[in-house]
Amino acid sequence: YAVLLMLEALHDILVPLAFSGLLAALFVPAVRWLEARRVPPALAILLCILTAMTVALGILLFFVYQTSALLADYELIRERFVDAYYAVLDWLRERLNLTREEHQDFVDEKTDQVMDALMTAGVDSVKVLGHAAMLFVLVPLYTFFILFYRKLFMRGLYLALRKTPPERVYEMVEQMRVVCGQYLVGVSIVLFMVAVAMTAGLLAMGMPNAFFFGIMGAILNLIPYLGIFSAAGLTAGYSA
């Protein structure tokens, strides 16, 4: 229990460290390749991190641009979701045999709940944005120092595991690095395939903003089970 409390208290530090460790494992081959070509270690690490940040910023700017395009159709989107909302309410009234007064009370109650949920979501969104901004700063810094001092970390492991032969320790670390790197590469391939498949399907159906919904669906697919259904629901709601 004490360990869980400590992890909860330190999650703001441990989460960026975990992301940084995964990214460092992914960048090690590229850093070694650059260092083998006489690129200074610090510069090699910076080049890898800046490349990754450029890709991340490109994806973020793409979503910002597509979101601004969606906001141009705000009234249309609002009308569609309002129509769908009242269609569900009418269906519930018929199924539950509610009177008009009971139906109106039900609508008012659910509307208040939705507004409270939206206000809570707005506050949570600000917290999430702040946390994301912190990650965007801390993760590159942690990744840089993990890669720059990786030989020092290895010496520390050798000392901590002095009863284990250094060759065995190095082999275990390399195996962990390869597994982490292969995991990230595999996830990236799956995201790419889902994005291409969804975008191609939406383009074939004449769906506007197909690239946005295709990439969004691929990213939401990272959430087990619920992600792909959420993406499908948003896409269907927009195109209805």
Tens-of-pLDDT digits for all 240 residues of the chain?
Answer: 666 677 676 677 777 888 888 888 888 888 989 988 888 989 999 999 999 889 888 888 887 777 776 666 666 666 766 676 677 767 767 776 666 666 666 666 766 666 566 556 555 555 666 667 777 788 888 889 988 988 888 888 888 888 888 888 888 888 888 887 788 888 888 888 888 888 888 888 887 777 878 888 888 877 777 777 777 777 776 665
Asked if 12 and 139 touch (Cβ cutoff 8 Å), the reply is: no
Q: What is the pLDDT of residue 210?
A: 78
Amino acid present at 215: I
Q: How many Cα atoms within 13 Å fall on the side-chain side of residue 212? A: 18
Q: What is the pLDDT of residue 47?
A: 92
Q: Calculate the alpha carbon distances from 161 to 21, 151, 155, 166 in Å.
A: 20, 15, 10, 8
- Determine the number of helices (DSSP H) and then strands (DSSP E) in the chain: 9, 0
Q: What is the pLDDT of residue 46?
A: 92
Q: What is the pLDDT of residue 104?
A: 62
